[in-house]
Amino acid sequence: MKKSILRKYAKLTAKVGANVQKGQDVVIYANVDQELLVSYIVEECYRLGARKVMVEWGSDIVTRLVYKKETIKVLSEVTPWVIEKQKYYCKELPAMIYVDSDDPDGLKGVSQKKLAEVAKNRYPILKPYRDERDNKYQWTIIGAPSKAWAKKVFPELPAGKAMEKLWEAILYTSRVTDDPIKAWDEHNKDLEKRTKFLNSLNLDYLHYQSSNGTDFKVWLSENVLWEAGGEKTLGSNIFFNPNIPTEECFTSPIKGKAEGKVVATKPLSYQGQLIDNFSIVFKDGKAVEVHAEKNEALLKEMIAMDEGAAYLGECALVPYDSPINNLGILFFNTLYDENCCCHLALGMGFTNLVKNYQNYTNEQLHEMGINDSAIHVDFMIGSKDLNITGYTKDGKAVPIFKNGNWAF
């Protein structure tokens, strides 16, 4: 990859993604194979006036070894310095930048049960700190190819060529054009226009219909907003883009109010495995019936993870003609794959989409219908002939999607 383009990507990450502020601390999470890109991002952070930039290096190979060799009990331990770090994050609110180059098969061979058990045990220990700083700091996640990831996406190509192709796809979908900052400005404006319209409708429910068998209704709350693209930090009001790329307008539906069947249109990559050709039937908001041609047991395990895992946390609208879908690549990575077409997510919802959420406790927000769970797993239901009709509180039908794309 050309260094000048990498620098543009690094600048986009620090400025548009995390929007690092003068005097702010920054934490960057990346794997050891991303030294050059990370060094450029570090430089851009200092250029924006960062006080201190810290990099937390990771490794697919070491992570896999650790998960294989250690017991559930040991893996579930949260060491004192991890807690101290959490306290520092809550106090200083550093911007967080995640550079994701993980091998989609990185945890292959590790028992799914073990992974789920460890996540479940650690979650309540770290949750209070996450809740405390939630929405108060900027964060962003971007992708960068590793050899293993590139070979997964392009198995027929030699490693070098596969890396090149994945870089191309990442930079194209991330709008790293001649002037990425300007491209993102325009993109954010377009997304804002759409969410404004959706929020003005005061929708009661959405009805999804597609020739593949999807016939599904999901109810929305008048207190919960649609959002897209960037968001603002609580208190300091700093605009940032948590995901590069992003195409979706999304909201959190009311927990317990969804009916009908959804048929997945893309395979779901979960814990290093593919769940494929599956459908889910919802009753009273709960996934009560699942079928999958591939890895049905894993899907069942996923929705039984905890109480909220069988309920919805997100409804997202993405046109079928999105840059990501048009590429026709399965990235095996949610950041890209979730932005290819319309999707739902099982598990945790977004409490910060409730109007004036800062005036409520987390418990109150969950009582208002925002789902809570240790998981948040997106799955795609967008198709070429997906129609979505919105029904407003006063009974008016408004076309939202027609033949897979925006109807307005």
- Residue 203 CA, distance from chain mean position: 24
Instruction: State CA 117 to chain mean position distance.
Output: 22
Alpha helix (H) residue ranges in 134-179:
147-153, 159-173
Identify which of 405, 9, 60 has the alpha carbon closest to the alpha carbon of residue 244. Answer: 9
**CB 249, min distance to Zn ion, A:** 10
316 binds Zn ion (CB under 5 A): yes
Asked if residues 129 and 93 have their Cβ atoms less than 8 Å apart, the reply is: no
343 vs 380: CA distance, rounded Å: 4
Question: Shortest gap between Cβ of 92 and Zn ion (angstroms)?
Answer: 29
**Closer Cβ to Zn ion, 248 or 372, answer by number:** 248
Q: What 8-state DSSP symbol labels residue 135?
A: T
Range in contact with Zn ion (rule: CB under 5 A) among 19-27, 164-172, 210-218, 313-321:
313-321
User: Considering CB under 5 A, how many residues would be counted as binding Zn ion?
Assistant: 3
Near Zn ion in 112-141, by CB under 5 A: none
Binding mask 235-274 for Zn ion (x = CB under 5 A): -------------x--------------------------
CA distance linking residue 17 with residue 233, whole number of Å: 13
What residue is closest to Zn ion based on CB? 316
Which is closer to Zn ion, CB of 16 or CB of 377?
Answer: 377
Question: Measured from the CB atom, is 102 or 338 closer to Zn ion?
Answer: 338
Provide the residue type at 219 as one letter: W
**What are 301's two structure tokens?**
């395990």
Instruction: For Zn ion, give the closer residue by CB, 149 or 250.
Output: 250
* Contacts to Zn ion from residues 323-352, by CB under 5 A: 338
Smallest gap from Cβ 314 to Zn ion, in A, equals 5
Binding of Zn ion at residue 153 (CB under 5 A)? no
∠ CA 383-389-394, rounded to 5°:
165
Residue placing its CB nearer to Zn ion in the complex, 9 or 350: 350
CB of 343 to Zn ion, least distance (A): 6
Instruction: With contacts defined by CB under 5 A, name the span among 79-87, 163-171, 289-297, 314-322 that binds Zn ion.
Output: 314-322
Nearer to Zn ion, 272 or 347 (CB): 347
Half-sphere exposure of 296 (CA within 13 A, CB side): 9
If we measure between CA atoms, which residue out of 48, 35, 42 comes closest to residue 10? 42
* Residue 340 DSSP class: S
Q: Which residues bind Zn ion (CB under 5 A)?
A: 248, 316, 338
